[in-house]
Structure 1
Amino acid sequence: MGHRLSKIYTRTGDAGTTGLGDGTRVDKDSLRVEAYGTVDELNSQISLVIAFGIEKKIADQLLDIQHDLFDLGSELCVPGYSAINDSHTDLLEKVLDEHNATLPALKEFILPGGNLAAASCHIARTVCRRSERIVVRLMREEKINPPVIKYLNRLSDLLFVLSRVLVRQDGQSETLWDKNRQPTEGHK
């Protein structure tokens, strides 16, 4: 295969449009572009989680997910193309169940945070949820492969569980939401 990007700038988007994978020109703020752009943002956020030097097994699992997200983004970029199927979601569920089995049951909501890797994983989870919402909006306008929504939905669940795992890896604990707390001085 030849070089995909021999020249980084093309000037074709200078008027506010971009090319989809099938060659169609659309506005850069179209819902489809927003959908695959947000998936790209999610992929980048996951790279940050990995960059914190997390356990190799989890890093490898997240790297596999990054490849899936690149496939998913390409699916959104090329109308009518399908790359994600139910087996992708099945694998996420297997990984999710494996990690969740190591965690104590939740009796309260937890606040995002902990250590840098866990906090970054929480951000990835929220970006994933935003991706899911955008794709749902896009589905109202265009035909989208249904496994895409299932994948994003399950991925956000996995990122939540991984944030819980990551906070424990250096001996820290989660901060539970205290709905009855008294504001600290300066917040009254």
Structure 2
Amino acid sequence: MKIYTRTGDEGKTSVIGGGRVTKDDARVEAYGTIDELNCFVGQAVSVISREAVGEWVDMLQQLLLIQHELFDCGSDLSYAVPESEKMKVKPEMTERLESWIDAYEAETPPIARFILPGGSEQAALLHVCRTVCRRAERRVVTLAAEQACPDEVRKYLNRLSDYFFAAARAANARLETIDVEYERGAQVFRRRTTTE
């Protein structure tokens, strides 16, 4: 089987139940950005797997599962008219992210101000995942304003960006690397919290 088909040479691609659309269609842009996010998660996995013993095993397993779930998100978005019985992203997936966030928050010191992305290599990569996830969420919001779009994908992505923030902070804590606060920022966090 050849990897190329030549069917997209005119700048169009197929969506399930919707015929052919331009490659910059809001739906294609949304699931394409999720694919981009999945690549960055894969990069984070490759770096974290170097440390995948003891306390790192949980994070590695979670990120691998998230990669599969990002494919689920892309699959759901590829339907021009979402069919509820065929959607793969379920509320329990978002709820599971919340439990992981809570566990990571318990590992990290409280924060009062915004923090700079970075610290360790692991945390820096997870912050990249967070920002690309936010962009994917924005693309899904744009899609939902224009066309049919499954709500659960948007909810999952919103929580997933919080997960990456919490995981980045936990990675720094595990490596005994201090998060650097934004020095000109006001005190914005009154309690342990994620980005939103």
TM-score scaled to structure 2, two decimals?
Answer: 0.85
Q: Which residue is 1:18 aligned to?
A: 13
Q: Distance in 2 between matches of 1:15 and 1:76?
A: 22
Q: Which residue is 1:139 aligned to?
A: 144
Q: Which residue is 1:3 aligned to?
A: none
8 Å CA contact 1:99, 1:165 repeated in 2: yes
8 Å CA contact 2:77, 2:150 repeated in 1: no
Query: Which segments of structure 1 move beyond 6 Å, counting only runs of 4 or more?
Result: none
Aligned-residue CA RMSD (Å)? 1.3
Q: Distance in 2 between matches of 1:172 and 1:157?
A: 20
**Larger Rg over CA atoms:** 1
Q: How many residues align?
A: 175
Q: Which residue is 2:192 aligned to?
A: none
Which of these residues, 150, 161, 178, is aligned with residue 183 of structure 2? Answer: 178
Q: Alpha-carbon deviations, 1:15-48, whole Å to 9, x = none? A: 1111123462110111100000000011111111
Q: Distance in 2 between matches of 1:57 and 1:34?
A: 31
Q: Which residue is 2:4 aligned to?
A: 9
Q: Which residue is 2:128 aligned to?
A: 123
Mind listing any 5+ residue stretches in structure 1 that lack a counterpart? 1-5, 181-188
Q: Distance in 2 between matches of 1:101 and 1:175?
A: 19
Which of these residues, 84, 92, 96, is aligned with residue 91 of structure 1? Answer: 96
1:57 deviation in Å? 1.2
Work out whether 1:48 is the aligned partner of 2:43: yes
Aligned-residue identity in percent? 43
**Amino acid across the alignment from 1:147:** E
8 Å CA contact 1:40, 1:70 repeated in 2: yes
**Amino acid across the alignment from 2:142:** R
Q: Which residue is 1:71 aligned to?
A: 72
Q: Alpha-carbon deviations, 1:38-79, whole Å to 9, x = none? A: 000111111111111341210100111111100001111122
